[in-house]
Structure 1
């Protein structure tokens, strides 16, 4: 049975791939993007099965207006995909206040507002699915991406908690954790980097631009295969809490969680020592 999907950020990357695969399979897509002409080719090919709206995720009132209009004009929307976002890299002290605010507003506050606007409609229609595109950087970290990690760790905390809130309404929530993929993510990140204080020359932070610009470091992830798994996940019951995509993502998340768990377990007695006695 054909579904209707609402996807933020369909002009490129995973969002574009999602739209293409879904439309090709007969589903209907409501897509948001900052420049409507970026998907003129898809509009010409699929006509009314592609509904579009201009949206900047840093504009809260506009988010609620667009989501409300999408449900009003399309009726039932089965899946809401929080996809739009970008990576901000560089030393934390080299970032401007505006860069910090824009990263958090786009990657974290925007998806929260999209979801809050959609939830009353999903409840009213008796259920649906929400996908949140995170990254392995929502579980693991590396130097030079502190604000990007802040946005994605916040995203994962929000949607992990939300899953329990909305489960009674038959709304499933899945966090997607892809590794590096051959999209335009790296080139966009390279263009948006913060200033690099000279003190960071020769450090991991100082090398991050080299990594982003090095054509020999092409990501291994295939966006088409990753998107196929995202789409197929909607048929799983119950909704999977998290989906790890890419061998690099698996390696980074497993390493981070293993180290974190070992550190927690080593503190078991010390943690318990701060409790009141059991008979108090």
Structure 2
């Protein structure tokens, strides 16, 4: 049985890989991207099974228009994949106002807008799936990625709420958390002029690792795309899907550290409870 997918950010990386694999196995794809000509080869190969539209997810009106057009053209859409993203690699002091706004507008507000545009359609058809592409950096943190983390931690909190709200409506939502993967995303990271004050800090260490190629990229992008498709095929709807050895290790360590710190504050937390209130 064929499925129909709506995917943002399909010019490269996971979006392109998903599109290629889904079309190759017979599914239909509504692929959106800022430069539609980047998919001309797939349109020639797969014809009407590939619906392509220009979309900049930072344009709220365009998001709603394109989502509505995709449902109108294809009828039922089974899976919506929020994949479009933008990354700025800079310490908190180094990034510009424009870079900060763009990462929040793309990764947080843009993803929110896609979900908001899709939900009425998914409800009307009786259900569907949403895959929100996040990262290990949606729960763990790394120097020079502060604003990227702000957007990804934000979208994960939003998606946790949405998942609880729409589960009774037959809509499943899974946050996908790939680790460091050679998809070209790293090469496309926006940067800012480096401040010498950070050269001898963890921010400087990570900057040098990316520059000299020693920053590890242990994961296979094709296997990550396959795992996302397999999850949907299985019908399982976990809230999160960690993908990668680094994701598993880093998120596990981050969760453990936060829980330990939380437990250390139990006494002071309970000390502020009002008289007579349940502890």
Whether TM-score is above 0.5 comes out as: yes
Q: What is the CA distance between 1:95 and its match in structure 2?
A: 1.1
- Cα distance per residue 1:211-251 (max 9 Å; x no partner): 22333445111011111111111134451110000001101
Q: What is the CA distance between 1:91 and its match in structure 2?
A: 1.2
Distance in 1 (CA, whole Å) between partners of 2:192 and 2:130 is 32
The residue aligned with 1:252 is 250
The residue aligned with 2:101 is 101
The residue aligned with 1:29 is 29
Q: What is the CA distance between 1:209 and its match in structure 2?
A: 3.0
Q: What is the CA distance between 1:207 and its match in structure 2?
A: 3.1
The residue aligned with 2:121 is 121
Which is worse superposed, 198-207 or 117-126?
198-207
Task: Give the structure-1-normalised TM-score.
Answer: 0.96
The residue aligned with 2:47 is 47
Distance in 2 (CA, whole Å) between partners of 1:279 and 1:174 is 37
- Cα distance per residue 1:45-100 (max 9 Å; x no partner): 11111101001111111111100111111110000000010221111111111110
Distance in 1 (CA, whole Å) between partners of 2:80 and 2:2 is 15
Distance in 2 (CA, whole Å) between partners of 1:194 and 1:146 is 13
- State how 1:66-215 maps to structure 2 within 5 Å: 66-189=66-189, 192-215=190-213
SS at match of 2:126: coil
- Contact kept in structure 1, 2:127 and 2:169, CA below 8 Å: yes
Distance in 2 (CA, whole Å) between partners of 1:261 and 1:160 is 19
Distance in 1 (CA, whole Å) between partners of 2:207 and 2:34 is 26
Q: What is the CA distance between 1:266 and its match in structure 2?
A: 1.2
Instruction: Flag structure 2 segments of 5+ consecutive residues without an equivalent.
Output: none
SS at match of 1:187: coil
- Contact kept in structure 2, 1:90 and 1:208, CA below 8 Å: no
Number of aligned residue pairs: 278
Task: Give the structure-2-normalised TM-score.
Answer: 0.96
SS at match of 1:180: coil
Provide closer, same or farther for how the CA distance between residues 266 and 72 of structure 1 changes in structure 2, counting only shifts above 3 A: same
- Cα distance per residue 1:4-59 (max 9 Å; x no partner): 00000111000000001100110000011111111111111111111010011111
Distance in 1 (CA, whole Å) between partners of 2:198 and 2:214 is 24
The residue aligned with 1:272 is 270
Distance in 2 (CA, whole Å) between partners of 1:250 and 1:214 is 25
Distance in 2 (CA, whole Å) between partners of 1:38 and 1:214 is 30
What root-mean-square deviation, in Å, do the aligned CA atoms of Structure 1 and Structure 2 show? Answer: 1.3
Q: What is the CA distance between 1:142 and its match in structure 2?
A: 1.6
1:262 has 2:260 as partner: yes
Q: What is the CA distance between 1:277 and its match in structure 2?
A: 2.3
- Contact kept in structure 2, 1:34 and 1:56, CA below 8 Å: yes
Which is worse superposed, 194-203 or 51-60?
194-203
Distance in 1 (CA, whole Å) between partners of 2:192 and 2:57 is 21
Which is worse superposed, 45-54 or 200-209?
200-209
Distance in 2 (CA, whole Å) between partners of 1:207 and 1:107 is 26
